[in-house]
Amino acid sequence: MKNKERLVWIGIVSFLSFALILPNGSVKGISKTGESYLQIFHEVLSFIQTDYVESVDDEKLYQGAIRGLIASLGDPHSRFMDKDDFSQLQEETRGSFGGLGMEVSFADGAIVVISPIEDTPAMKAGILPQDRIVEIDGKKTGDLSLSDSIKLMRGKVGTSVTIKLERKNQKEPMTLTLVREMIKIRYVRSSFLEKEKLGYIKLNQFMGKDSTLSEFKKELAALKEKGAEGLIVDLRMNPGGLLDLAIALSDLFLKPDLDIVSVRGRGGELVRVFRSTSSGDKAIQIPMVVLINEGSASASEIFAGAIQDHGRGKILGTVSFGKGSVQNIYPLSHNTGIALTIQKYYTPSGKSIHGKGIQPDVLVKSVEPTEDDRFYIRKMAEKKMLEAFVAKNPVYSEANFQLFEKYLSEKGMKLSSDVARFLYKSRSNKEGQSPLLDLDLDPQMKKAIELLSVPKEGEKK
């Protein structure tokens, strides 16, 4: 009886498959090979549904097939989003969502951190760009899709999640337990350096297009009104976002009719070249430095590439992430969607930064621990030494830092002074919002100020 049912089912499936064929003998948008494999797919599906030893969940089957289809592209940035994923994406674009606070991608069987987001559990825990998350709550990320991994890291505010991550140049994996928070992103922050007469704008993400563009312009105008004679645009740890916003912000600083970015599609075919406009609210004269690091990706690299190629300002920091592809979000039925890589972008000089990144004009590294520092940091973490000291000395001061160094020496922890200062000062700010500028911890910012403070010819400064 079962065999008869199977034959009837296969017959129905075959009929439905061929019913899709148009009068000219081909399925719309599908090749002959595609037609054959559609039929095979339905045949396999029918055997699973009728003969597999366990009962099956149809939704799970179909979603697995869709994810497998996209995974076969070998592109970590293309993905299927179920109802929850798609809803979360919409929350992110509005600037508020629950979780740990980091932008991630999938590569080589692990979740790779593009960038932690400022003032979030991920950043406070010291997670860095290029860290590889290999386990989430005991589940290996190599066995999970990107969206499933993201789903595991998200959850109810106040609950905890344990992740294991591998870090370049560190032999042993690190295990961290983080408490989920409501992630609210303030995209634009600024500061005026009175002594140096310099403006500083920190852009956390290229999101919230119209509001972010408006806020950026407002902050820029306020800095110029205060007498800023130079500008530092900080794109460190900025994972990117909207292409249109990257173009609009680049346009602010470029003379009219200059290439900002070109976009090429399948086969390298030129799709479009975006050029600067003659809009009246430009800032084309003010000297500028753009800060980037390994957490600067996508739209950040478009902006930095345009400024660099036209000699509009100096790019300072370390090599950026290298994400030179454009994803389009396609809403699908039943509140689902897909993110699909449709194009690659190129800087004005024709360079693709995909997998290579933007090379800074001035290479300056951030405070980085040596191998010995890492050894002692691990020892400190095992004994929760930093937490114990901060609990007794929560307010950072130079006097308390001297006490911290003495405390480390007594415990046999031979940390370099810069790293010790970084650890204590960054952790002492944990309960509140981190200060926007802190030159003690920021050699890249120090160098940017130095570059912009060089007196112009005929001036004394």
Catalytic residues: 298, 309, 323
How many helices and strands, by DSSP H and E, does the chain display?
Answer: 14, 19
Element (DSSP H or E) covering residue 81: strand 79-81
Tokens 């006097």, residue located: 399
Own/partner contacts of 105-112, CB < 8 Å, gap of 24 or more, are 105/76, 105/77, 105/146, 105/323, 106/76, 106/141, 106/145, 106/146, 106/149, 107/76, 109/141, 109/142, 110/134, 110/141, 110/142, 110/166, 111/136, 111/141, 111/146, 111/149, 112/76
**Nearest-angstrom CA–CA distance, 357 and 455:** 31
CA distances from 120 to 75, 168, 273, 432 (A): 28, 22, 36, 11
Phi-psi region of 180 (alpha: psi -120 to 50; beta: other; left: phi over 0): beta
CA distance 295 to 114: 5
Mapping DSSP onto H, E and C, the string for 243-302 reads HHHHHHHHHCCCCCCCEEEEEECHHHCEEEEEECCCCCCCCCCCCEEEEECCCCCCHHHH
CA distance 148 to 145: 5
Give the bridge partners for 412, in sequence order. Answer: none
CA distance linking residue 137 with residue 64, whole number of Å: 22
